[in-house]
């Protein structure tokens, strides 16, 4: 699948069968929208894609902001009463599944449906997942809902990026700005989602919060469907369609995997507490297999093999970054509940609102970083240096918890978590925007899709590790937890910084 993430130095570019569609909603086969300038100088279809991504992220982050609390809050509080270790493990495994599903979403778009239809059906799947969470009580609703949302979100993330790319010709100078507008929708959705679902959770309950996420996704889908006719015909192209009979193997693999997973749960090998660790092992093995393929294939030239080797330390830095960054939804969630003083005067801030702080800072900082990188030009930091700053920056963020470590009860001031989330955002500005773009430029020509898959696997592995690592967090020993993780991230950032000159040489012309 061709993925066009936009300018790698633009922090706003983060940071992922017709099936009942009427003829009126299907793009004209001869339609070319590249000359369209009806949406702030961009094709009108960008407005639809902006909308569906905004509402998908609204529902995704809105649900994720309250999910951990739903899992471990007591029955009297409206939750399921699971152990906290199980709750954070489930959240980590879910995060890993989302980005693992990106690989599957790209395959479906390339081989079966095309990007536009994949986007439509994936968004429908997300909506069904939120409906399941809202209407099905207990763990059954969690299992059905999270699986559907993970699979759907993976498809939306890859297909939407591809469809946005189809709006522009390869030499269109508007493409970078178009992706910046598109990804601004991601951050707006991530900002507003936790605010509204968090308020709903504290006032009328968890299932209403999940229902609000479903309504948001339904609204985005409705807006998108009305404008599907504005999309170019290329968005419906299936680049490498499956040959007759070729579907049997992938279907067999999926069915076999589902059966194996079910049996592992039945016999107690897989549990809620070790789910994130199990997913992490699977993702790590897949990543090792992909790196081995890229390094040993006779289709890879000497220069491409050198670039792949250079990517390994940056890939590891990406894993470390995401394993800390995604703790917003595991450790920081527990910390907010048990250690943060959320009283503002006589009013208690909804617990999920903390999850809106980081996307708020991203929205504020993104244009400033865009100006900074543009002015610095060639004098700006190279890609490996940015990766080092991103990983090390997360280490600094975790060390900032230390002044309040060892306290009792909810005594950490809100301003402390505001500062920490600001550092989260600063770290993200240095690593997340360049990650996907780098994967499209550094990979061998014969394995473009696999190279992009490696980036998503780094996010997947980091997300699952965020769930596993949360099992070691205990408020009574939080000083040790934050110290070890913070120092380890700083050391890894320092190692990558020292390796930066070698990495740049080994990248053979890729900046």
CA distances from 223 to 38, 180, 217, 260 (A): 17, 20, 10, 39
**Lowest-pLDDT range of 107-121, 192-206, 369-383, 458-472:** 369-383
pTM, to two decimals: 0.86
420-432: average pLDDT: 93
Side-chain half-sphere of 485: how many Cα atoms within 13 Å? 28
Query: What is the chain's mean pLDDT, rounded?
Result: 86
**Lowest-pLDDT range of 161-165, 169-173, 266-270, 429-433:** 169-173
Tell whether the model's pLDDT for residue 446 goes beyond 80: no
Same fold, 36-232 and 275-511: yes
Band of pLDDT at residue 25, cut at 50, 70 and 90: very low
471: DSSP letter: T
User: Does CATH place domain 36-232 in 3.40.630.30?
Assistant: no
> How far apart are the C-alpha atoms of 476 and 467, rounded to whole Å?
19
φ/ψ region of 382 (left if φ > 0, alpha if ψ in -120 to 50, else beta) reads beta
108-115: average pLDDT: 85
**Lowest-pLDDT range of 200-204, 339-343, 431-435:** 431-435
In CATH, the number for domain 275-511 is 1.20.1250.20
Tell whether the model's pLDDT for residue 214 goes beyond 90: yes
Tell whether the model's pLDDT for residue 360 goes beyond 90: yes
Tell whether the model's pLDDT for residue 246 goes beyond 70: yes
Band of pLDDT at residue 2, cut at 50, 70 and 90: very low
How many CB atoms sit inside 10 A of residue 424's CB? 26
Per-residue model confidence as pLDDT tens digits over 270-324: 898 999 999 999 999 999 998 998 899 888 888 889 989 999 999 999 999 999 9
Helix (H, G, I), strand (E, B) or coil at 340: strand
* Predicted local confidence at residue 171, as pLDDT: 66
By percentage, how much of the chain surpasses pLDDT 90?
Answer: 53
* Predicted local confidence at residue 499, as pLDDT: 94
Per-residue model confidence as pLDDT tens digits over 249-275: 888 888 998 899 889 988 988 898 999
Per-residue model confidence as pLDDT tens digits over 391-423: 999 999 999 999 999 888 888 999 999 999 999
Tell whether the model's pLDDT for residue 17 goes beyond 50: no
Residue 402 CB partners (closer than 8 Å, separation 6+): 479, 482, 483, 486
Regarding beta strands 343-344 and 347-348, do their DSSP bridges make them parallel or antiparallel, or are they unpaired? antiparallel
* Predicted local confidence at residue 417, as pLDDT: 96
How many degrees, rounded to 5, is the angle at CA 385 between CA 383 and CA 389? 115
* Predicted local confidence at residue 388, as pLDDT: 94
Band of pLDDT at residue 31, cut at 50, 70 and 90: low
* Predicted local confidence at residue 334, as pLDDT: 94
Band of pLDDT at residue 30, cut at 50, 70 and 90: very low
Band of pLDDT at residue 511, cut at 50, 70 and 90: low
- Closest CA relative to residue 38, chosen from 50, 25, 47, 26: 47
* Predicted local confidence at residue 14, as pLDDT: 43
Domain boundaries, the chain: 36-232, 275-511
* Predicted local confidence at residue 315, as pLDDT: 94
Tell whether the model's pLDDT for residue 176 goes beyond 70: no
* Predicted local confidence at residue 91, as pLDDT: 95
Residue 340 φ/ψ, nearest 5 degrees: -90, 130
């Amino acid at each position: 699948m061709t993925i066009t993430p936009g300018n790698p130095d633009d922090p706003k570019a983060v940071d992922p069968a017709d099936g009942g569609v009427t003829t009126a909603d299907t793009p004209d086969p001869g339609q070319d929208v590249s000359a369209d300038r009806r949406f702030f100088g961009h094709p009108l279809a960008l407005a639809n894609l902006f909308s569906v991504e905004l509402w998908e992220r609204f529902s995704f982050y809105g649900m994720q902001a309250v999910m951990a609390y739903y899992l471990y809050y007591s029955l009297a509080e409206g939750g399921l009463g699971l152990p906290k270790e199980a709750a954070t493990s489930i959240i980590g495994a879910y995060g890993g599944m989302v980005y693992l599903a990106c690989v599957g979403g790209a395959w479906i778009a390339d081989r079966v449906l095309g990007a536009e239809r994949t986007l439509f059906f994936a968004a429908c799947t997300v909506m069904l997942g939120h409906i399941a969470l809202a209407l099905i009580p207990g763990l059954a609703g969690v299992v059905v809902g999270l699986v559907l949302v993970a699979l759907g979100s993976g498809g939306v993330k890859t297909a939407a990026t591809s469809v946005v790319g189809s709006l522009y010709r390869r030499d269109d100078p508007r493409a970078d700005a178009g992706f910046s507008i598109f990804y601004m929708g991601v951050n707006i959705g991530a900002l507003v989602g936790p605010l509204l679902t968090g308020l709903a959770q504290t006032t009328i309950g968890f299932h209403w919060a999940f229902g609000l996420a479903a309504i948001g996704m339904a609204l985005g889908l409705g807006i998108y469907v009305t404008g599907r006719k504005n999309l170019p015909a290329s968005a419906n192209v299936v680049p490498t369609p499956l040959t007759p009979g070729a579907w049997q193997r992938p279907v067999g693999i999926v069915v076999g995997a589902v059966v194996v997973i079910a049996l592992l749960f039945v016999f107690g090998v897989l549990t809620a507490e070790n789910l994130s660790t199990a997913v992490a092992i699977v993702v790590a093995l897949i990543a090792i297999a992909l790196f081995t393929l890229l390094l040993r294939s006779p289709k890879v030239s000497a220069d491409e093999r050198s670039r792949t080797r250079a990517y390994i330390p940056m890939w590891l830095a990406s894993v470390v970054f995401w394993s800390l960054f995604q703790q917003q939804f595991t450790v920081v969630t527990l910390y907010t509940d048990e250690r943060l003083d959320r009283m503002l005067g006589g009013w208690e801030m909804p617990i999920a609102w903390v999850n809106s702080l980081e996307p708020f800072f991203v929205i504020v900082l993104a244009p400033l970083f865009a100006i900074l990188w543009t002015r610095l030009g060639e004098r700006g930091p190279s890609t490996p240096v940015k990766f080092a700053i991103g990983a090390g920056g997360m280490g600094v963020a975790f060390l900032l918890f230390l002044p309040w470590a060892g306290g009792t009860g909810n005594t950490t001031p809100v301003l402390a978590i505001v500062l920490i989330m600001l550092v989260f955002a600063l770290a993200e500005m240095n690593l997340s925007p360049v990650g996907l773009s780098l994967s499209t430029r550094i990979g061998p020509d014969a394995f473009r899709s696999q190279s992009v898959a490696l980036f998503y696997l780094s996010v997947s592995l980091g997300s699952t590790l965020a769930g596993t690592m949360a099992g070691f967090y205990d408020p009574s020993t939080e000083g040790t937890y934050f110290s070890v993780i913070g120092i380890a991230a700083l050391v890894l950032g320092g190692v990558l910084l020292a390796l930066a000159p070698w990495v740049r040489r080994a990248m053979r012309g890729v900046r």
